[in-house]
């Protein structure tokens, strides 16, 4: 068993599952999407990205790329939330909620790709 | 770059041929437009209307091309209509003339050749990886190109026969194989094929004419002193000239090669089986050995093949009888020489009833097959070797059920293919065949391990270069001052306690070949390694060579930490 792989896998799968949790629900209904969950997804995703830094193999590069995509979309979603509530002050209207959830949905796809790559690499090398 | 020459030649031809049609077209247009502009049009709102230059050009554009949209932008006056009639007839005729000139140019054989040559030279330049120039795309050439393609190598083809080049373009190769219909012995065409290109590894001259092959070899040597030259020759005189060209020259003589194989078959059936299995002969296995019997042999057809075979057979103490329509050329060690064509009468005279073997070696397939049938009816238990000259007769020969089929084109193609994709193989064979104690045991051992590892799967011969581009992880390890052993890279990444399904034959370190190297053999930069294994083993091995994490695991059994964070953590907390 490779301890590094366990930590890797833990964070990658955790960020995917949290992401799914946030996106689930009626997409324009602010009651169905918790800001704390979004916070959790952003943090776990950033940790996962940090863990992927340094891997010089081809697959490592691909994993890092998907992780960066997820980061960008989640940070954009978080920024939009902050702007709506604190800076512009419109609050979370259904339009804002829809936009935030679609960004998080994009990040979800990137996270799914990450997990697929991770699983298939493990299956191929069977180490 | 040679293509710029070709490009300027083609564009020069186009420009020169199009000069007159274009000038005529221009003149007709300008006169017509000038006329349309200056002829007074109808009266509109009390004023005389004239066509603008733009409208006149627009009118001419659809009139000259016979599109005919009508009178735009206003109804013409009769004066304009009269001029329009003149314009229409003259400009349409001029258009046809110009189009005709282009069509005629594109149908010109000389122009088509120039365009083909340009295209060919451009696609050769685009390859950007090591490639071989194959001159001659007959039976030998097509087997060779197919083999190179399967091994993932690039080839370009020149052939004198336009149909063969057309056939080449229809084949389903994995990489594109540019083909040119031209005489390969003309220096210009060899240049177009990229003989001076930095990626050109070798020129293979295998046309069916001896003198053309010789000329191609000589021209290639003059154009590029460093390029490898491989050629087929069946005549001793040519072989002597070729050998003195200098540089790397390999001459493949299918009959001499066959004679060697026959000799190996008689003396060392295991080696013959191994050789056939490695080259991928149909139905060859490592289990069944062929044993040509020693006793009386009859050779029908005493050409180059008959002579070489006779030489080998007599060397091995076999008494031979020869049947040939031509008179004996020189004194040879032939016990019986019968002049005439092979039939029941001559075969009986040669002692077919008591013979053990028959060699049908004429250069005519029909004759060889009929001799085979004839001889079988006279003696059921004959060991038969038959020469197949044309690939097209494959099915008939397969049905003939001979013990050995000798196909000169196939022998040549395989020999050249092995020289190109597995240059180290000859060292391996030479080592196995050396007359030293223990070598036969070793051969048995090699065959046993190959049988265990590869079994019924298709064996692949693979050459690995330990260079920075092709084995980055290995070189990285060596740069760090660590050792990489052969045993490390051939272990299975899925379970390092067992090896991949392959067998390392030879490694060449610093110009010295080591046959069947030990697992502890240290790899150095620039080494070349030859192994035989399954396709899957090849894939895994090649990925190990370029993946530092897999290589680290195979070398040490530990997982290399890949992320900066875990590396930092390990440094900080495990050492303290």
User: What φ, ψ does residue B299 adopt, rounded to 5°?
Assistant: -110, 115
Report the gap between the CA of B470 and the closest CA in chain A (Å): 15
Whether A57 sits inside 8 A of B564 (CB atoms) is no
Q: What is the structure's pLDDT at B157?
A: 94
For residue B460, list its beta bridge partners.
B533
Q: Is B231 a domain residue?
A: yes
Per the confidence metrics, is the pTM higher than 0.90? Answer: no
Instruction: Give me the helices (H) in B39-138, please.
Output: 53-64, 78-107, 109-127
Interface check A57 vs B, CB under 8 A: yes
- Distance from C-alpha of B291 to C-alpha of B287, rounded to nearest angstrom: 13
Per-residue model confidence (pLDDT) at position B2: 63
In a domain, B332, yes or no: yes
CATH number at residue B512: 3.30.70.1450
Let me know if residue B112 belongs to a domain: no
Residue B456 and residue B416 share a domain: no
Nearest CB among B493, B553, B563 relative to A52 is that of B563
What is the pLDDT at residue B556? 87
Q: Do B416 and B276 sit in the same domain of this protein?
A: yes
In this structure, are B359 and B401 located in the same domain? yes
Both B103 and B141 in one domain: the answer is no
| Distance between CA atoms of residues B220 and B133, nearest Å | 10
Both B354 and B406 in one domain: the answer is yes
Same domain? For B344 and B265 the reply is: yes
Mean residue pLDDT of chain A comes to 90
| Segments forming the whole domain that contains residue B80 | 2-107
Q: Are residues B405 and B488 in the same domain?
A: no
Q: Name the residue among B565, B566, B469, B482 with its Cα closest to residue B523.
A: B482
Helix B269-278 vs helix B425-433: angle between axes, to the nearest 10 degrees? 170
Determine contact, residues B71/B58, Cβ cutoff 8 Å.
no
Residues pairing with B462 in the sheet: B531
| pLDDT mean values, one per 10 residues, chain B (576 residues) | 71 85 93 93 88 92 86 88 92 91 88 88 89 91 89 90 88 88 89 90 90 90 89 80 80 86 83 83 75 84 85 83 78 72 82 86 87 86 88 85 85 88 88 83 88 86 88 89 88 85 89 88 90 89 87 85 82 72
- Residue B201: how many other CB atoms lie within 10 Å: 17
Q: Where does the pLDDT of residue A114 fall: very low under 50, low under 70, confident under 90, or very high at 90 and above?
A: very high
What integer pLDDT is reported at residue B289 of this predicted model? Answer: 79
State the distance between the two ends of chain A, measured CA to CA, in whole angstroms: 8
pLDDT of residue B156: 93
Closest listed residue to residue A110, CA positions, set A58, A57, A73: A73
Contact B561 A53 (CB under 8 A): no
> What integer pLDDT is reported at residue B312 of this predicted model?
85
Domain count, chain B: 4
Q: Is A37 on the interface with B (CB under 8 A)?
A: no
pLDDT at residue number B331: 60
> Packing angle between helix B78-107 and helix B2-38, nearest 10 degrees?
170
Radius of gyration, CA atoms only, chain A: 16
Q: For the beta carbon of residue A62, count every other beta carbon within 10 angstroms.
A: 16
User: Are B19 and B72 in the same domain?
Assistant: yes
**From B494, B550, B563, residue closest to A55, measured CB to CB:** B563
Q: Strand, helix or coil at B386?
A: strand
- Residue B524 Cα to chain centre, angstroms: 31
B96 and B56: one domain?
yes
Spatial separation of the C-alpha atoms in residues B308 and B53, rounded to whole Å? 85
Instruction: Check pLDDT > 60 for residue A127.
Output: no
B419 is written with which tokens? 């020289």
Instruction: Work out the number of other CB atoms within 10 angstroms of the CB of residue B80.
Output: 23
Relative to beta strand B502-509, strand B528-533 is antiparallel
Rounded to whole angstroms, the Cα distance separating B502 from B336 reads 49
Q: Is A1 on the interface with B (CB under 8 A)?
A: no
pLDDT of B253: 87
Q: Is B564's CB within 8 Å of A54's CB? A: yes
- What integer pLDDT is reported at residue A1 of this predicted model? 65
Same domain as B309, residue B409: yes
Q: Is B111 an interface residue toward A (CB < 8 Å)?
A: no
Q: Which pLDDT value is given to residue B333?
A: 62
C-alpha closest to that of A48 among A121, A123, A125, A115: A115
Burial class (CB in 10 A: 0-12, 13-18, 19+), B265: buried
- B563/A51 CB distance under 8 A: yes
Ramachandran angles phi, psi of B337, nearest 5°: -125, 110
B422 to chain A, closest Cα gap in Å: 28
Closest residue of B to A52, CA-based? B563
Q: Distance from first CA to last CA of chain B, Å, rounded? A: 62
Question: In CATH, what number is assigned to the domain containing residue B168?
Answer: 3.40.50.720
Which positions ≥6 away from B66 have C-beta within 8 Å?
B92, B95
Residue B320 φ/ψ, nearest 5 degrees: -115, 150
The DSSP symbol for B197 reads S
Q: Are residues B91 and B186 in the same domain?
A: no
Sequence ranges of the domains in chain A: 3-125
Same domain, B9 and B46: yes
What's the confidence (pLDDT) of residue A40? Answer: 93
Contacts of B163 (CB under 8 A, 6+ apart): none
CA distance B392 to chain A (A): 44
Q: What is the Cα–Cα distance from B264 to B272, expressed in whole angstroms?
A: 6
């Amino acid at each position: 068993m490779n301890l590094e792989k366990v930590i890797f896998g833990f964070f990658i799968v955790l960020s995917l599952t949290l992401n799914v949790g946030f996106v689930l629900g009626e997409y324009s209904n602010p009651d169905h999407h918790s800001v704390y969950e979004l916070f959790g997804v952003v943090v776990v995703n950033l940790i996962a990205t940090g863990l992927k830094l340094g891997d010089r193999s081809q697959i490592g590069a691909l994993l890092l790329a998907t992780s960066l995509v997820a980061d960008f979309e989640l940070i954009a979603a978080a920024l939009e939330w902050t702007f709506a509530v604190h800076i512009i002050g419109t609050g979370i209207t259904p339009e804002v909620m829809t936009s935030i959830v679609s960004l998080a949905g994009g990040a979800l796809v990137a996270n799914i790709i990450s997990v697929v790559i991770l699983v298939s690499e493990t299956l191929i090398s069977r180490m | 770059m040679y293509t710029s020459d070709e490009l300027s030649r083609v564009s020069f031809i186009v420009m020169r041929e199009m000069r007159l049609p274009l000038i005529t077209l221009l003149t007709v247009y300008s006169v017509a437009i000038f006329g349309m502009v200056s002829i007074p049009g109808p009266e509109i709102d009390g004023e005389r209307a004239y066509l603008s230059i733009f409208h006149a050009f627009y009118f001419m554009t659809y009139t000259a091309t016979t599109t005919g949209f009508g009178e735009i932008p206003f109804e013409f006056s009769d004066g304009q209509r009269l001029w329009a009639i003149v314009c229409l007839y003259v400009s349409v005729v001029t258009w046809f003339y110009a189009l005709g000139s282009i069509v005629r140019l594109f149908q010109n054989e000389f122009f088509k050749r120039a365009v083909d040559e340009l295209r060919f030279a451009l696609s050769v330049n685009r390859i950007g990886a090591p490639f071989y120039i194959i001159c001659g795309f007959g039976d030998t050439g097509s087997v060779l190109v197919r083999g190179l393609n399967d091994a993932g190598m690039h080839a370009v083809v020149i052939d004198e026969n336009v149909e063969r080049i057309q056939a080449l373009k229809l084949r389903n190769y994995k990489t594109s194989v540019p083909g040119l219909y031209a005489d390969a012995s003309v220096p210009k065409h060899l240049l177009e094929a990229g003989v001076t290109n930095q990626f050109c590894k070798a020129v293979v001259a295998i046309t069916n004419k001896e003198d053309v092959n010789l000329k191609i070899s000589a021209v290639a040597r003059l154009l590029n002193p460093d390029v490898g030259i491989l050629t087929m020759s069946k005549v001793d005189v040519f072989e002597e000239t070729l050998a003195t060209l200098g540089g790397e020259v390999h001459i493949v003589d299918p009959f001499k090669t066959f004679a060697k194989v026959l000799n190996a078959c008689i003396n060392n059936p295991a080696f013959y089986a191994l050789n056939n299995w490695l080259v991928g002969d149909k139905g060859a296995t490592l289990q069944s050995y062929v044993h040509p019997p020693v006793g009386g042999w009859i050779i029908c057809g005493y050409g180059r093949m008959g002579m070489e075979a006779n030489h080998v057979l007599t060397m091995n103490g076999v008494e031979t009888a020869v049947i040939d329509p031509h008179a004996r050329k020189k004194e040879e060690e032939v016990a019986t020489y019968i002049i005439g064509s092979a039939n029941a009468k001559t075969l009986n005279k040669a002692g077919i009833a008591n013979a053990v073997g028959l060699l049908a070696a004429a250069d005519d397939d029909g004759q060889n097959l009929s001799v085979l049938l004839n001889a079988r009816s006279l003696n059921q238990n004959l060991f038969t070797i038959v020469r197949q000259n044309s690939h097209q007769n494959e099915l008939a020969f397969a049905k003939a059920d001979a013990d050995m089929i000798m196909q000169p084109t196939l022998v040549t193609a395989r020999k050249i293919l092995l020289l190109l994709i597995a240059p180290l193989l000859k060292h391996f064979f030479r080592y196995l065949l050396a007359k030293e104690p223990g070598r036969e045991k070793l051969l048995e051992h090699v065959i046993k391990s190959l049988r265990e590892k590869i079994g019924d799967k298709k064996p692949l011969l693979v050459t690995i270069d330990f260079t920075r581009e092709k084995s980055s992880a290995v070189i990285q390890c060596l740069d760090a001052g660590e050792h990489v052993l052969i045993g490390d890279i051939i272990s299975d990444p899925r379970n390092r306690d067992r090896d991949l399904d392959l067998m390392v034959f030879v490694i060449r370190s610093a110009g010295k070949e080591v046959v069947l190297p030990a697992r502890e053999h240290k790899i150095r930069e620039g080494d070349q390694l030859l192994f035989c294994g399954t396709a899957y083993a090849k894939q895994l091995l090649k990925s190990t060579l370029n993946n530092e994490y897999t290589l680290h695991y195979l070398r040490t059994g530990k997982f290399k930490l890949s992320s900066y964070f875990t590396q930092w953590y390990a440094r900080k907390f495990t050492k303290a």
